[in-house]
Amino acid sequence: MQALRAVPWLPVTLVAVLLAACGAPAPHRLRERESQLTHVGPFTVRAANLPAAVVGQAFPRVGAYALSGPDTLLRVSTDKPYVLSTKTLGRSDWRALETLPCVQQPLFAQSRGPEAVLVCAGPVGSRANALDLVTPQGAVQAIPLPVRIPVPLARVVVSTGQIGGTKGQLSWSVALNSEPPVDYGEGTIDLRTGKSVPPQQQVQPVSNDYPYDYSVEMTGEDDTLYEMHFPSGTSSRWADVFRWSLTSARWVPLGRVPYLRDAEGSPVIAGDGSLWLSVPRPTAYLEYFWRVVREVPGSSRITTWYVHGSLLGVGPGFFAYLPYDDPTTMVVNFPLEHRKLIYANLSTFDAPPYRLNEPASLDRGWSQITGAQVLILGTSHGVRELIVSP
């Protein structure tokens, strides 16, 4: 796997020769135990070899590892005593952080926020359960989890969402991993006190105060909660954007953006408050022409980039795609930086524990954290990951 500033159809060997002739270093090949860094403006792109349990495309999922920040891995041992350890990507040494008082095998929650959240349970059926928030720097904050879990921890799904950092709030839910799921409890915790937040201070739908048909919740890079709301009726050309204020426990209107009815999925919020989203347009050739759009609340201006390829996903300030004329190459475009990274010679990868149906994909599972996104690549050396962070 190579990250090249090169024309995508040039053979890798020819690219290396041309770079050498120009006095530039030849493309660096990723080694098994190494982490490779590329800087693009304010972004850092880190090529890594993550444990399979970290990414959402791995089957079966195992909760013993988590990605915390763009360059920190967390691991919890699978035998008693349960030890939480950390290491920096690109290094081989693990550092023990804490021995956990868990009765059952701990697991990492499906979390959204700046910290990884580890679930530490007591005996089956008890209320002696806790959530351990772990920062990329290795600080551990234990928060009581006020719920009784009547089945083994391995049979439940714990989801959390954090806003406002370590002095903010943490919403949580616990449910049986079944179809349909069985809810055991949910709530919101004040991280300053470890106590449950009163209902009147919890996040409420904007629709309680404004008449909207549809809304989308988003989390910004700075761990701020946003909602985008689409007005009633079919003739409106605008959507409204709100930000949740922890200090006043209310939604603050930020302004309107043009209403793009054909947009796919939820927008993502960049650090400057702009919204990034994708708009597909099908063609007669069973392909899609894509538009990647940037909008700023309070402005009618739309900035658009056109993509002729299979769009893998949009991040705040970048997007990744497989060109239709070269589907074994992935392009990561940073349009505001006027720069692209190109990864060639990729292939599908369908071998346990991975199921990668395209040469690359954007991971929407456990690996997504505030301010970072993981891209998964199939290479001749196996699956590799790219971690993109501001």
Residue 46 token pair: 């880190």
Residue-wise pLDDT for 249-265, tens only, equals 889 999 999 988 888 88
Residue 376 has pLDDT above 60, yes or no: yes
Note the pLDDT of residue 262: 83
* Mean predicted confidence (pLDDT) in 327-355: 92
Highest mean pLDDT among 105-114, 158-167, 323-332: 323-332
Neighbours of 304 (CB within 10 A): 10
Note the pLDDT of residue 218: 87
What is d(CA 256, CA 276) in angstroms, rounded to the nearest whole number?
Answer: 14
Residue-wise pLDDT for 62-97, tens only, equals 568 888 888 889 999 999 999 999 999 888 899 999
Residue 33 has pLDDT above 60, yes or no: no
pLDDT band at 370 (very low <50, low <70, confident <90, very high): low
pLDDT band at 357 (very low <50, low <70, confident <90, very high): confident
> Considering the chain, what is the average pLDDT of its residues?
83
What is d(CA 162, CA 113) in angstroms, rounded to the nearest whole number?
Answer: 5
Cα 235–chain centre separation: 34
Note the pLDDT of residue 67: 86
Note the pLDDT of residue 76: 94
Note the pLDDT of residue 7: 31
Highest mean pLDDT among 14-18, 35-39, 266-270: 266-270
Surface-to-core class of residue 138, CB atoms within 10 Å of its CB (0-12 exposed, 13-18 middle, 19+ buried): middle
113 contacts: CB under 8 Å, gap ≥ 6: 160, 161, 162, 163, 170, 219, 223, 369, 370
Q: Which of 209, 131, 135, 137 is nearest to 172 (CA)?
A: 131
Residue 315 token pair: 């991040």
45 contacts: CB under 8 Å, gap ≥ 6: 3, 37, 38, 39, 332, 341, 386, 387, 388
Residue-wise pLDDT for 287-322, tens only, equals 778 999 999 999 999 999 999 999 999 989 999 999
Query: Which residue's entry shows tokens 């234990």?
Result: 142
Note the pLDDT of residue 81: 94
Residues written for the chain: 390
| 103 strand-pairing partners | none
Q: How close are the terminal C-alpha atoms of the chain, in Å?
A: 22
Surface-to-core class of residue 343, CB atoms within 10 Å of its CB (0-12 exposed, 13-18 middle, 19+ buried): buried
pLDDT band at 381 (very low <50, low <70, confident <90, very high): confident
What is d(CA 325, CA 209) in angstroms, rounded to the nearest whole number?
Answer: 49
What is d(CA 197, CA 142) in angstroms, rounded to the nearest whole number?
Answer: 17
What pTM did the predictor assign?
0.83
What is d(CA 329, CA 390) in angstroms, rounded to the nearest whole number?
Answer: 23
Residue-wise pLDDT for 92-139, tens only, equals 899 999 999 999 999 998 888 888 899 999 999 999 999 999 988 889
* Mean predicted confidence (pLDDT) in 380-384: 88
Residue 205 has pLDDT above 50, yes or no: yes
Q: Which of 226, 111, 224 is nearest to 171 (CA)?
A: 111
pLDDT band at 233 (very low <50, low <70, confident <90, very high): low
* Mean predicted confidence (pLDDT) in 198-219: 78
Note the pLDDT of residue 366: 52
Check residues 17 and 38 and name the one with the higher pLDDT. Answer: 38
| 207 strand-pairing partners | none
3-state SS, 246-270, equals: CCCCEEEEEEEEECCCCCEEEEEEC
Query: Which residue's entry shows tokens 């860094």?
Result: 37
Residue 85 token pair: 């350890």
